[in-house]
Amino acid sequence: MARPTKFTEAVAKRILKAIRDGCTYRDASVANRISEDTLLNWRKRNSVFSAQMDEAEAGAITDALATIRLAAKGTAKRPSDWRAAAWLVERRRSKEYGNASIGVNIGANTSPTTSEGSSDTSVSLNVTVTQRKAYNNDVLERYVLEKEAELAQQSDEEAVIVDADSPA
């Protein structure tokens, strides 16, 4: 004999309310003492419940966007906040308006003077690019090449200083 289902109208309403309030499917499941797999199985088997879940999720998004728009416009008691509008535009049009972050890690390592009196200098350049919008790769490439040239020049200057200090 099959185990009785936990799916009842009351449980379905609580799950839909949790999703409408912004909970993830996992959180809505845990709050109602079922697994996320169970919730997803109910969704697959019940087209009406699945449509209700979609509506609840869309409602949560609509409410959140309305709150962001309200913050961007401001009220009589609160001034407008341009960051809310910027946040929304960055996410809706990330290719055009999203943030681009570029991390550059540059290091020069000089080992101690060897028995021959010379110093071994190695230069490393690591570039990490996180791209959320179209970024001009030529600009990045020029920047990296400039940094490599600076490092090479510094390395040459350090080598001259080491050579000048070493006994002839």
**Per-residue tokens: 4:** 């009785």
| pLDDT greater at residue 42 or residue 151 | 42
Q: Which among 72, 76, 49, 59 is positioned nearest to 20, based on CA atoms?
A: 59
Q: What's the rounded Cα separation, in Å, for the pair 118 and 1?
A: 84
Residue 74 Ramachandran class (φ > 0 left, ψ -120 to 50 alpha, else beta): left
| pLDDT greater at residue 71 or residue 146 | 71
Which of these ranges, 13-22, 45-54, 137-146, has the smallest mean pLDDT? Answer: 137-146
Helix count (H) and strand count (E) of the chain?
Answer: 7, 2
| pLDDT greater at residue 34 or residue 88 | 34
Are 49 and 43 in contact, with CB atoms under 8 Å apart? yes
The values of phi and psi at residue 117, to 5°, are 90, 5
134 falls in which pLDDT band (50, 70, 90)?
very low
DSSP per position, 11-23: HHHHHHHHHHTT-
Query: Own/partner pairs for 159-168, CB < 8 Å, 24+ apart?
Result: 159/119, 159/121, 162/113, 162/118, 162/119, 162/121, 163/118, 166/113, 166/117, 166/118, 167/117
The mean pLDDT value for 126-151 works out to 57
The values of phi and psi at residue 163, to 5°, are -65, -40
Query: Could you tell me the residue ranges of all domains in the chain?
Result: 9-92, 100-165
pLDDT in tens, 61-117: 999 999 988 988 888 888 888 888 888 888 877 777 776 655 666 666 655 555 566
